[in-house]
Structures are given as structure tokens and as C-alpha cells.
Amino acid sequence: MKYNISFHPTTKSNLDAVDFNNIPFGETFSDHMFVADYRNGAWQDLRIEPFGPITMSPANITLHYGQSIFEGMKAFKNQNGMPVLFRPEMHAQRLNASAARMCMPDVPEDLFLQGLNELIGIDHAWIPTTPNSSLYVRPFMFGTQEKIGVKPSSSYKFMIFTAPVGPYYDKPIKLIAANKYVRAVPGGVGEAKAAGNYAAGLLPTQEAHDAGFDQIMWTDNRNYQQIQECGTMNIFFIIGDTVVTPETNGAILKGITRNTLLHLLRDKGIKVEERAITINELVEAHAAGTLKDVFGAGTAAVIAPVSEISYYENKDDANYKTLKLPAIESRDISKNLKKELHEIRTGLRPDPHNWVHEVAVRDVAAV
Ligand SMILES: *Cc1c(COP(=O)(O)O)cnc(C)c1O
């Protein structure tokens, strides 16, 4: 279905003010945003307008009860200078999976994709072409009803804005296994990209930072042994010649990067296992010299190599032990994966799974 999206161009572009060689992550925003309002059971007033503040009542239901979900994806320019999106339909589907869990309305996939394509088509000049840079795309939805009461909102906003970004992590990360806090449990909301999950992770992450680590390696809530994710990324291990990643069991975010890497690995005939993996297994593999690589995977960092993992042997131990991981230079599989993914996205390599979608550029001046 084709939707009617109105366009209200900005009168003053901020593009000239941006230094594309030095972009702080997530603090610079492109000229326009897509907005749709859900009222009386339907999405309406579809529009692209200048990026800017939105007003709301202090009694906005989301501020109090947290009906808020988001997506994160990236736009690039390919070899021909055309904007491209990577697996955008997967993001539309996951937004709707998150929406269902949070009792929010579905955003029709066609609406998500059309709004996204038109926005990128208008603000295509904001896509950085400097190495490892991209246009970060943030679709999100939240309840807008003015009401004090724990009930699903009767109205919502779905919006998309974009932000040019440089490289996310510049050095390998140090993880500390959680032994006190949990991110998610099966049956909870960890599988949804729901705002509250990230608020819940702030204190544990801050404590980890204070102790000298970059990210938490999240574990299960029963004995803190079963590994889930690291920070806000999925986690991968290479043990011997097998790539292992925790199976999605309701407590793990179904990362699109995770899914993509699993495809690429299987295409190459590399052995892949989605299964439960414990800290004990890592300790044993490390001792045997078979723990070859550990990395986080997610849209922002793509692949973030892990340099060491610290863990508490027993939940209540005062001191941790540390597994030092092999030199980054030795990690051919993950290095190649990152390169391959970059090449597929920019058109330097064939795209057999039809993951890359070119965006039609819109001549803003002509509107
Ligand atoms: C978004 C996210 C990921 C990664 O998902 P991608 O689709 O690969 O970006 C992993 N874990 C958590 C908790 C996340 O929020």
C-alpha cells in the first residue's frame, strides 16, 4: 500500500555546520524527521517535517509507565553514491514484535518502509562517506495519551529521525560477567527493544565502568552462569573451529546483526551453534587454548572485539578472575566478517540474500 506523506521542508538546513570528519556519536541530527500519529485506531497525519522538539502533557502516559520502544539501523552510501538501507524490513518486523509485547499498535510494514525511504531520500546528503561512518536511523514509538492510569495508551506517535555518526567503539572492550544484576529473564521484556530495558542497565553499567570495565556480560538470573549478551550487543564466541552464540530464549534481543552474521558464517560453511553457553565452558576452553575469539555484535558497533572477560568464580566472591583473549590481529573470522558485511552494504560484494535496498533520492529544492 502507498501512503500519502506530506513534506514540510526546513527553511534552514544545518548541514553546513557539521564536521563530517569529527562527529560525536548521537549528538548531531539531520534536518528532518518522519512523524505519524495514531488516533481512533488508525495512523494519520503522516508527515516529514523539520527535526525539532515535540510538546507533551506532564501527564503523558509514557513518561510514567514506559510504553516506549525503538529501533536502531544505519543508512550508507554505496559505490555509486546512492543511499542504501540494510534489511529495513527486519527492523519493521522487530518494531512490531516489540510493540506487541508492550501492548502497542502495529505499524504497517509498508508505512514504516515508505516513511523511512522518503526521509532518507530527503536527507541523503547527511549520510557521511568518511570511513566507518554512517547515518544512524532511529525509528521509535511511544504512547501519547494524557492520563494517569496503568493502561495501554489510546494514542501513539511513531517517529523516525537520523543522526550522522562516526565509529562507535574504537578499541577492544573489557567485559565483566554480571553476578548481581540481570538484564532480562525469559517471560520478561528483554526480547523487546523497550526503553525501560536500557534504563535498567544504567546502574549495572555505571558500576562496571567504575570498576574499570567497558561493558557487562549479562548472565541468567538463577546462578549467573548462562551467558546472554554483552552491553547492548549480542555475543559470539569462537571455540575451536565452531562459532557459538546464545540461543534466543526469550531473554535475548534478536539482533539483526546476529542473524546476518549467522547467515554469512553458514554460507561460508563455518560451523555455527546457537545454544546455551556458560562461563564454566569459557573457562575450560580458555584453559585448553581453544577460546579463539569473543565479540559483540550489533548495528552500532557491527563487531566489537572483546579483549578480556572477568568473572566471579562463585556468585558471592569478592574478587574476580580474568580471561585474557587472543590478540585482535589473530582473529581472522571476525575481521573477515566485518569486512564482508561492509562490502555487501556498500556494493563492493554481491548481495545474494537481497539485504541491501537502494533509496530513491528526492530533490528537496524541487518540492
Ligand atoms: C539492539 C540490540 C542488539 C543488537 O541488535 P541489532 O539488530 O543487531 O542492532 C542486541 N542486544 C540488545 C540488548 C539490543 O538492544
- Provide the Cα torsion 146, 152, 154, 160; round to 10°: 90
Q: All 3 cell numbers of residue 161?
A: 529521525
3-state SS of the chain?
CCCCCEECCCCCCCHHHCCCCCCCCCCCCCCEEEEEEEECCEEEEEEEEECCCCCCCCCEHHHHHCCEEECCEEEEECCCCCEEEECHHHHHHHHHHHHHHCCCCCCCHHHHHHHHHHHHHHCHHHCCCCCCCEEEEEEEEEECCECCCCCCCCCEEEEEEEEEECCCCCCCEEEEECCCCCCCCCCCCCCCCEHHHHHHCHHHHHHHHHCCCCEEEEECCCCCCEEEEECCEEEEEEECCEEEECCCCCCCCCCHHHHHHHHHHHHCCCEEEECCCEHHHHHHHHHHCCEEEEEEEECCCEEEEEEEEEECCCCCCCCCEEEECCCHHHCHHHHHHHHHHHHHHCCCCCCCCCCEEECCCCCHHHC
Contacts of 265 (CB under 8 A, 6+ apart): 243, 272, 333, 337
Which tens digits make up the pLDDT trace of 175-205?
999 999 999 999 999 999 999 999 999 999 9
Q: For the chain, what is the radius of gyration of the CA atoms?
A: 21
The rounded percent of the chain whose pLDDT value lies above 90 is 91
302, 335 in Cβ contact below 8 A? no
Q: How many CB atoms lie within 10 A of CB 18?
A: 15
- What class has domain 6-167? alpha beta
pLDDT attached to residue 363? 80
Is residue 233 within 8 A of residue 183, CB to CB? The reply is no
**Is the pLDDT at 125 greater than 90, yes or no?**
yes
Q: Which atom of ligand 1 is nearest to the CA of 254?
A: 5
| Overall pTM surpassing 0.85 (yes/no) | yes
Q: Ligand 1: distance of its center to the CA of 232 in Å?
A: 6
Residue intervals of the chain classified under CATH 3.20.10.10 are: 173-345
Q: Which of 98, 232, 258, 263 to mutate to test the pocket of ligand 1 (most atoms within 8 A of CB)?
A: 232
Contact 264, 272 (CB under 8 A): no
Spatial separation of the C-alpha atoms in residues 190 and 198, rounded to whole Å: 10
Residues whose beta carbon lies within 6 Å of some atom of ligand 1: 72, 193, 229, 232-234, 253, 255-258, 298-299
Atom of ligand 1 nearest to the CA of 184: 13
**Ligand 1, atom 14, residue with closest C-alpha:** 232
**pLDDT tens-digit series, residues 43-71:** 999 999 999 999 999 999 999 999 999 99
Which atom of ligand 1 lies at the shortest distance from residue 94's CA? Answer: 7
Nearest ligand 1 atom to alpha carbon 197:
13
Residue 22 has a pLDDT of 87
Output the residue whose Cα is nearest ligand 1's atom 10: 233
From 101, 234, 260, mutation site for ligand 1 pocket: most ligand atoms within 8 A of C-beta = 234
Q: At what angle do helices 332-345 and 256-267 cross, to 10 degrees?
A: 110
Pocket test for ligand 1, best of 299, 303, 345, 355 (most atoms within 8 A of CB): 299
Could you identify the atom of ligand 1 that is nearest to the CA of residue 91? Answer: 7
CA of 348 to the centre of ligand 1 (A): 25
In CATH terms, the superfamily for domain 173-345 is: D-amino Acid Aminotransferase, subunit A, domain 2 (3.20.10.10)
What rounded mean pLDDT belongs to the chain? 95
Q: 52, 68 in Cβ contact below 8 A? A: no
Contact 224, 179 (CB under 8 A): yes
pLDDT of residue 188: 96
Q: Residue 356 has what pLDDT? A: 98
Yes or no: say if 238 and 265 are a contact pair by the CB < 8 Å rule.
no
Q: How far is the CA of 354 from the centre of ligand 1 (A)?
A: 21
**138-166 per-position pLDDT tens digit:** 999 999 999 999 999 999 999 999 999 98
- pLDDT over 80 (residue 367): no
pLDDT digits 0-9 by tens, 272-316: 999 999 999 999 999 999 999 999 999 988 999 999 999 999 888
* C-alpha span between 46 and 139 (Å, rounded): 14
Q: Over the stretch 1-25, which tens digit does the pLDDT of each residue have?
A: 899 999 999 999 999 999 988 888 8
**Sign for the pseudo-dihedral over CA of 124, 96, 26, 341:** negative
| For the CA of 183, the nearest atom of ligand 1 | 13
Answer yes or no: is pLDDT of 170 > 80.
no
Partners of residue 37 on adjacent β-strands: 44, 157
**Domain limits, CATH 3.30.470.10, in the chain:** 6-167
Q: How many residues does the chain have?
A: 367
